[in-house]
Structure 1
Amino acid sequence: MMQHHDPADAMVSFRNVRKSYDGRHLVVKDLNLDIRRGEFLTMLGPSGSGKTTTLMMLAGFEAASGGEIVLAGQRIDHVPPYRRDIGMVFQNYALFPHLTVAQNVAFPLKVRRQPKAEVEARVAAALSMVRLDGFADRRPSQLSGGQQQRVALARALVFEPKLVLMDEPLGALDKQLRENMQYEIKQLHERLGVTMVYVTHDQSEALTMSDRVAVFEDGVIQQLATPRDLYERPQNAFVARFIGENNRLPGRVQAVEGGTCRVEVNGACLRATTVGALRAGERVILSLRPERVALAPAPGSLPNMASGRVLELIYVGDHLRVHLRVFEEDGFIVKLANTAGLPDIRIDDEIAVGWSADDCLVLSQSASEH
């Protein structure tokens, strides 16, 4: 992905956008965001973080309380939703039950008064695109949940909008189907090159599907980055905790030495990677992914070593989860891939753990955690 881009290449720009429902409390605070032409951008966050409100302001179903929203170079703050040239897919499909599949998909074209022959050709192409050839004459009630969601997708894409918005579109589907649909939507995006903005609270979905992810919390984008950067280099403790699983060790900075620093955790001195500006004496959280911890490494082989007592062992199929008490903290987890020769570990064993400074991030506690 290009890191430097021209704002003129933005399909959507939010400029200092605010939203308040009561005039006092802001659910979206001074939002600035450029969504690139042709990218798949996901807005991710817990409920109440502002992600859905942001999507609804872009769709035109909510009015911004301040700031500007620009689509393809035109301000759209006062343009009604049906004139914004945006396709929408919601969690509850919103199909018309009394219309056939073909009539549902044709609806946006009829509203735009397209000629009949073109409508038929486009509907057939859209149904074929979502692999529903042969379903044109069925009613929504005769379809499974996954098929209904594909009809909703075809309807959102049939009029070739500049932008497609999706709000938790797979929330009602079971795990297997959900994963298949994630893959299908991603394939469609790559084939069509349309700009897609997707809202979810499911972080694995966001990591799987997106070019970039905007992590929302408390009405603010905490970090905007590629899935890999979010996972490997979260910018604060909220993002680290929300994206994937991690071990969190509270400590105090002893010394900052360029890209790394020394942190005191319960009497031990650990080496870790600095994220953001830190000062000696500051209280911080060390963040460490469970799959990056080595169990019983050779003595002195890693810069950070500790001793842990095994509290619990959980077999999860593709990996073994080992829960340990480390530095007087009970929640320390190591994930061991289930390859040949899993070590023989028992509850109450004392065992060494170790990790590199690269895999351990020093994060300042975000405002919401003080």
Structure 2
Amino acid sequence: MDQLSTPTAETEKVSQTKPEDAYVRFDRVQKSYDGETLVVKDLNLDIAKGEFITLLGPSGSGKTTCLMMLAGFEPATHGEIFLDGRPINNVPPHKREIGMVFQNYALFPHMTVWENLAFPLQVRKLPKSDIEKKIGRALDMVQMSQFGGRRPAQLSGGQQQRIALARALVFEPQLVLMDEPLGALDKQLREHMQYEIKHIHENLGVTVVYVTHDQSEALTMSDRVAVFNDGVIQQLSTPDVLYEEPENSFVAQFIGENNKLTGTVKSLGNDGLCQVEIEGGHVVEALAVAVDQVGAPTTLSLRPERVEINPDEGATANRLEGRIEELIYLGDHIRTRMSVAGHDDFIVKVPNTHGHKIIKEGETAMVGWASQDCRALDPMPL
């Protein structure tokens, strides 16, 4: 269990944005609710102006706590948070000029849509003519112009979320925070709203900090994704790098579907590759990502779409025999569950194309993959 401590100079900087260019900056931020256990541990994170960054992780990983500290609803225990170069730890939430969108919409039920949008502008004492213009623009932006006279109870969940988004943007903040905003919507509507929010962000150029536990949502919408676990950022990368090049076993397992094979490092080459002995005495070649010595335990990470069934002889560096246990038709691909090297849940995604090779349940088949597609990472905890 991590105890509360003073941040050290050795704390690693998790950022690709230069500090002087950061619009939002967490500088060695810690958070504890009981004075002993750290929920957020020495967070260093720089967010560029206009960036869409997602804080992604399982429940209890610290991502929402970071958002609440940035909003001002929770104080930081240690460290400093900066907004546009100024420290904001002691600035109350209503003076930070930050837009907020919540999962439960947080609309005033006794007010009409128009009145909900007017409220943040009236608080700022804007002239009536300006208020009307800004509300009109905000409603147009979320395609809800004809609903200004309705109350929230007269709207669907998706419509309420559009209004909540419009209210967060109506006073033209430079920073918008979104806490699981699509969590209450059904799958189809949620996916549609992902693209809407992404396009609104692109059009307005505001800075967005988005919290979710849905990895596909994070990959769809974000410029960068910070993967949290146990109060620490495990990896901060663009969506493609996060998926293609996970730096540890937690990220590999949390992001997308992943085959994991446990083994022991037998040799390390000068070309960045290593030989790993897995169950059954099989030896496979992989990228040495998080291993640095012979004899070390490792977990191999391999994406299902990178595996080929019955590859041509010599086409792949790694070849193993397996048994086809289950075929599931999913339209664009056939999800093939196999038993390979003692693992009964080895998954291969076979593209549903006219030229794909016919396979059947119960058959024995070879599976193959390139060394560069297999990553030798830290051993998964038992």
What is the aligned partner in structure 1 of residue 186 from structure 2? 174
* Equivalent pair of 2:262/2:379 in contact (CA under 8 Å): no
Structure 1, 188-197 or 269-278: larger mean CA deviation: 269-278
2:289 is the counterpart of 1:275: yes
Structure 2 residue aligned with 1:318, among 307, 311, 332? 332
**Matched residue type, 1:232:** E
In the TM superposition, what is the alpha-carbon distance from 1:81 to its structure 2 partner? 0.5
What is the aligned partner in structure 1 of residue 9 from structure 2? none
In the TM superposition, what is the alpha-carbon distance from 1:4 to its structure 2 partner? 5.8
Distance 1:365 1:192, change over 3 A: same
List aligned pairs for 1:1-370, cutoff 5 A: 5-258=17-270, 259-266=272-279, 267-365=281-379, 369=381
Once residues 4 and 335 of structure 1 are traced to their aligned partners in structure 2, the CA distance between those partners, rounded to angstroms, is 33
Once residues 186 and 320 of structure 2 are traced to their aligned partners in structure 1, the CA distance between those partners, rounded to angstroms, is 41
Once residues 126 and 352 of structure 2 are traced to their aligned partners in structure 1, the CA distance between those partners, rounded to angstroms, is 57
Once residues 6 and 243 of structure 1 are traced to their aligned partners in structure 2, the CA distance between those partners, rounded to angstroms, is 26
Once residues 335 and 193 of structure 2 are traced to their aligned partners in structure 1, the CA distance between those partners, rounded to angstroms, is 29
In the TM superposition, what is the alpha-carbon distance from 1:205 to its structure 2 partner? 0.2
1:218-244, Cα deviation, whole Å (9 max, x unpaired): 000000000000000001000000000
Secondary structure at the aligned position of 1:121 is classed as helix
**Matched residue type, 1:35:** I
1:6-49, Cα deviation, whole Å (9 max, x unpaired): 31111111011111111111111111100111000000000000
In the TM superposition, what is the alpha-carbon distance from 1:264 to its structure 2 partner? 1.1
Once residues 141 and 5 of structure 1 are traced to their aligned partners in structure 2, the CA distance between those partners, rounded to angstroms, is 43
In the TM superposition, what is the alpha-carbon distance from 1:276 to its structure 2 partner? 3.6
**Matched residue type, 2:67:** L
Instruction: Give unpaired runs (5+ residues) of structure 1.
Output: none
Once residues 360 and 161 of structure 2 are traced to their aligned partners in structure 1, the CA distance between those partners, rounded to angstroms, is 47
**Matched residue type, 2:277:** E
Structure 1, 37-46 or 314-323: larger mean CA deviation: 314-323
Secondary structure at the aligned position of 1:176 is classed as helix
Query: What count of residue pairs does the alignment treat as equivalent?
Result: 366
Once residues 82 and 217 of structure 2 are traced to their aligned partners in structure 1, the CA distance between those partners, rounded to angstroms, is 27
Once residues 109 and 205 of structure 1 are traced to their aligned partners in structure 2, the CA distance between those partners, rounded to angstroms, is 31
* Equivalent pair of 1:278/1:364 in contact (CA under 8 Å): no
Secondary structure at the aligned position of 1:89 is classed as strand
**Matched residue type, 2:187:** K
In the TM superposition, what is the alpha-carbon distance from 1:357 to its structure 2 partner? 0.6
1:128-175, Cα deviation, whole Å (9 max, x unpaired): 111111211111111111111011101000111120000000001111
Instruction: Give unpaired runs (5+ residues) of structure 2.
Output: 1-14
In the TM superposition, what is the alpha-carbon distance from 1:347 to its structure 2 partner? 2.1
Once residues 176 and 16 of structure 2 are traced to their aligned partners in structure 1, the CA distance between those partners, rounded to angstroms, is 24
Once residues 5 and 364 of structure 1 are traced to their aligned partners in structure 2, the CA distance between those partners, rounded to angstroms, is 27
* Equivalent pair of 2:177/2:208 in contact (CA under 8 Å): yes
Once residues 180 and 298 of structure 1 are traced to their aligned partners in structure 2, the CA distance between those partners, rounded to angstroms, is 41
Secondary structure at the aligned position of 2:344 is classed as strand
Runs of 4+ displaced beyond 6 Å: none
* Equivalent pair of 1:275/1:362 in contact (CA under 8 Å): yes
RMSD, aligned CA: 1.2
Structure 1, 250-259 or 233-242: larger mean CA deviation: 250-259
In the TM superposition, what is the alpha-carbon distance from 1:358 to its structure 2 partner? 1.0
Aligned-residue sequence identity (percent) comes to: 62
In the TM superposition, what is the alpha-carbon distance from 1:346 to its structure 2 partner? 2.2
In the TM superposition, what is the alpha-carbon distance from 1:318 to its structure 2 partner? 1.8
**Matched residue type, 1:100:** T
Once residues 94 and 323 of structure 1 are traced to their aligned partners in structure 2, the CA distance between those partners, rounded to angstroms, is 44
Secondary structure at the aligned position of 2:41 is classed as strand
Once residues 170 and 252 of structure 1 are traced to their aligned partners in structure 2, the CA distance between those partners, rounded to angstroms, is 42
**Matched residue type, 1:261:** C
**Matched residue type, 2:63:** K
In the TM superposition, what is the alpha-carbon distance from 1:330 to its structure 2 partner? 1.1
Once residues 119 and 304 of structure 2 are traced to their aligned partners in structure 1, the CA distance between those partners, rounded to angstroms, is 49
Normalised TM-score (structure 2): 0.94
Normalised TM-score (structure 1): 0.97
In the TM superposition, what is the alpha-carbon distance from 1:342 to its structure 2 partner? 4.0
Secondary structure at the aligned position of 1:314 is classed as strand
In the TM superposition, what is the alpha-carbon distance from 1:112 to its structure 2 partner? 0.8
Once residues 355 and 141 of structure 2 are traced to their aligned partners in structure 1, the CA distance between those partners, rounded to angstroms, is 46
Secondary structure at the aligned position of 1:358 is classed as helix
